[in-house]
Each structure stands twice: as structure tokens, then as C-alpha cells.
Amino acid sequence: MMRRRTTLLTGCTALALALGATACGSGDPVAAGGGDKALSGQTVTVAGVWSGSEQKNFQKVLDAFSEKTGAKTQFVSTGDNVSTVVGSKIEGGNAPDVVMVPQVGVLQQFAENGWLQPLSGTTRSAVDANYAPVWKTYGSVDGTLYGLYFKAAHKSTVWYSPEALTQAGVKPPTTYDEMLQAGHTVSDSGLAAFSVAGQDGWTLTDWFENIYLSQAGPEKYDALAAHKLKWTDASVVEALTTLGKLFKDKQLLAGGQKEALNTDFPGSVEKVFGPKPEAGMVYEGDFVAGVAKDQFGRVIGQDANFFPFPAVGGGEAPVVSGGDAAVVLKDGKNAKAGMALLEYLATPEAAAVWAEAGGFLSPNKKLDLASYGDDVTRATAKSLVDAGDSVRFDMSDQAPAAFGGTKGAGEWKLLQDFLRDPSDPKATAAELEAAAAKAYKG
């Protein structure tokens, strides 16, 4: 069994008191279970979107925190609509202490509503020491750090069946055009090239974001994410045109556009890694590996692997990320203990707990890559950390939810419409701009 890395940051704060005197001064590692149980009798309530295996694995992190500090923890699953659920709990006088926020836009909304406590000096120091500055930027509002990014997603990975590519005689491509060419070769060998989860609009935003970041560059990406650049800009039309080449090519899409629109994310993974494969490749984040492994028994690195999303149009290969930021609510009944939890989550030890359990990437560059359970996960984690400040957060997650995060509306729906009919990128760009202008104004 892999030995858990337990080296902690030093600092004489609430967490140091909770974890015992060895967390201060000497800088010696704190053994699992150490500490003086300074938070005994207190309960920290944590709300987040996770369910199933993600919730189970996060509970292992919470249990490690309890073992050190004596605090009890309670996890409340919010479902996808974190903002509405947390808002109603605050109004009802039942606010959680900590919320794991999955979208930058929601974190900003919480801060603007006055719901959040600025993070402690210990957590700020840990972020400065252990994270690329971009993660501090995404966790801050008006220069104040409110969010600690504990779990990240690497959304620039294209997953493939090694058997399918080997049979077709193709190697993982390094450019977008090569990827489409490889797709045609795979298709000629009897399988469709790509399984696309068009039923879930968020997957289509991820396709667009990778193309746009590589083709238009990070400055325009940032401007579009903040709606300082209009969606009618020529760079958006160009990216839609590039994406449309894939969408309109029936040889590349498993089942064509109609079937893609009826395929959800787990179904798209099944079409590549399930018992009856229909496609050789599926684009989505590192979390594809968890579905391929847990639901279809694939051995990651042997019969399921990935290549980085390739460079588009002479640009750099993109690194798009998502992530869940821990925030502390002012109205929580035990916000002080909640802040101690964040100080723990900022340590490589906390990240190692979930890394060893699987289905997790950490933006914490001090986490020993040996904590991850397989070479493929180590490779994706290293790619994310090595990207440093070139990482860009998922654009739709930075937008107001009405535009970037609502089923059947905004960007999700308009890109589904574009998948159905990609013949007029300029008209789609105009529709996206109209929806964005309304949402950002609101």
C-alpha cells in the first residue's frame, strides 16, 4: 500500500492548535491521528455537489480531518444548483459552514452577496507557497481571497481505446487537423472516430473552450470569459467554424448529430469503453478515466489512455481546467472550525488522502505525484501543475449561471443547436452574444 505523505505546512494558527504543537516551530511531520483534538465537540457542516464515489472519497478527507482535530463533519449534497440551495439555507437560518463551490461565477456571486469570510492568513500563505498564482486569482474577488481550490479537473484530455487506434494504424495526434485525419482513419477501420455527449450541453462548451483558447490565445479567452469581448468577434466565429468541421462530419461522429444529441456524458464514455464499442475516442476531462474504470472495468494506461487536446491553428496546446473551491460562510454556526478545515485542505496531506483513493487531481504543486494510484493519473496531474499560469478556468463556469450553467438555456442550448445545424457559425455567434449580454447585465 502506498504510504500517505503527511508533511504539513507550518504556522501557529487555529489549525496548528487543532493539530498539535508539532505543527508549529519545528516543522516536523504530523503523524496521521496526531494533534490535541482541539476541536472536539464541534461539528463542521460542508455542502457540495458531490455524490456517489466522489462524496465517498471526500468523506475520507473529512474523516482524516476529524482524526486530527476531534471535530465531527457532516456533508450535505446540494445537487447541481449550489447557488439556490445554499441561498435558501442561509435564508432559513441553516447555513453550512463550508461550501465546495464548482464555478467561479458562483464564488463571485457569494462574495458579492456578502456571504463569505476572507480566508485565514495560514490558508493564504499555503496558497502562495503551494499553488500557481492563477488559482489564487480564480479564488479571489476584488483582491480578497475567499476560495481555496481543493479539487481540480483537467479538461484538455482526449481519451481513446489503444486497441482502436492500433488497429487503425494511427498514433495520438499533436494538432487538431491531425486529430480529424486520425479520426477518418479510425472510421475507415470500422469504428466511428468520436463519441460526443451532445445531450449534456456542458460538454459542448468544453469542446469550444479548448479550441478557442488554443486558436485565439489566452488574452482573448480571458476577455471573452469576462464578456469584455463580444461573442460576435471574428475569433469566436473562427472557433465555431473549426468546431463545426467536426460536428458536420457524419464519418467522425458516432451515430451522427442526432445520436450525439441523445448521448449523455456517461453514455459517451460507454460508446468507447463499454462492452460494445462504437467509437475510438471521446473528448472530456480526466474524470473520463473514473467512468471507464469503475463502470466498464477498463485498466487505465492499458486499455484506456489519453492524449492532450491538440493545438489548433498554430496556437499552443490548451490547458482548460475546472475545479471546486472551498469557501467559509459567515452565517455558518461553526465558521471558526470551518476555517480550520480549509487550512487542512490547503495541505498536501489532505490532497494525498483523495489522490490515493482515486478520481481526483490536485492543483497543489507540493503534493507528491507518487500519491496518485496510476501512471496515467500522475501524467494528467503533472500536466495540470506544470501548466502553471497558462491554465485557464472553464469559461462557462466563469459566466453567470443563466448563460454558462443552465440546462436548456444560454450557451448550453445554443451549442446544442449548433451541433444540430453547424451551417452558420456567424448566426450562432450572434445568438450567443445576445444571451450573454442579457445574462451579464442581469
Per-residue HEC secondary structure of 165-213 comes to: HHHHCCCCCCEHHHHHHHHHHHHHCCCEEEECCCCCHHHHHHHHHHHHH
pLDDT at 8: 29
pLDDT at 294: 86
Rounded to two decimals, the pTM is 0.84
pLDDT at 35: 55
Longest Cα–Cα distance in the chain: 66
pLDDT at 201: 94
Q: Where in the chain are the domains?
A: 14-146+322-386, 157-319+401-434
- Those residues of the chain that have pLDDT short of 50 are 1-34
Distance between CA atoms of residues 442 and 437, nearest Å: 8
Q: How far is CA 30 from CA 5, 10, 34, 165, in A?
A: 10, 10, 6, 47
pLDDT at 79: 81
Q: Just give the CATH number of 157-319+401-434.
A: 3.40.190.10
* pLDDT tens digits along 108-157: 999 999 999 999 999 999 999 999 999 999 999 999 999 999 999 999 99
At the topology level of CATH, where does 14-146+322-386 sit? D-Maltodextrin-Binding Protein; domain 2 (3.40.190)
Asked, colleague to colleague, whether 14-146+322-386 and 157-319+401-434 share their fold, the answer is yes
pLDDT at 280: 98
Residue 327's beta-bridge partner residues?
Answer: 99
pLDDT at 19: 43
pLDDT at 80: 73
Per-residue HEC secondary structure of the chain comes to: CCCCCCCCCCCCCHHHHHHCHHHCCCCCCCCCCCCCCCCCCCEEEEEECCCHHHHHHHHHHHHHHHHHHCCEEEEEECCCCHHHHHHHHHHCCCCCCEEEECCHHHHHHHHHCCCECCCCHHHHHHHHHHCCHHHHHHCEECCEECCEEEEEEECCEEEECHHHHHHHCCCCCCEHHHHHHHHHHHHHCCCEEEECCCCCHHHHHHHHHHHHHHHHCHHHHHHHHCCCCCCCCHHHHHHHHHHHHHHCCCCCECCHHHHHHCCCHHHHHHHHHCCCCCEEEEECCCCHHHHHHHHHCCCECCCEEEEECCECCCCCCCCEEEEEEEEEECCCCCHHHHHHHHHHHCCHHHHHHHHHHCCCECCCCCCCHHHCCCHHHHHHHHHHHHCHHHCEECHHHHCCHHHHCCCCCHHHHHHHHHHHCCCCHHHHHHHHHHHHHHHHHC
User: Side chain identity at 348, as an amino acid letter?
Assistant: P
pLDDT at 36: 62
Residue 320's beta-bridge partner residues?
Answer: 392
* pLDDT tens digits along 356-376: 988 899 999 999 999 998 899
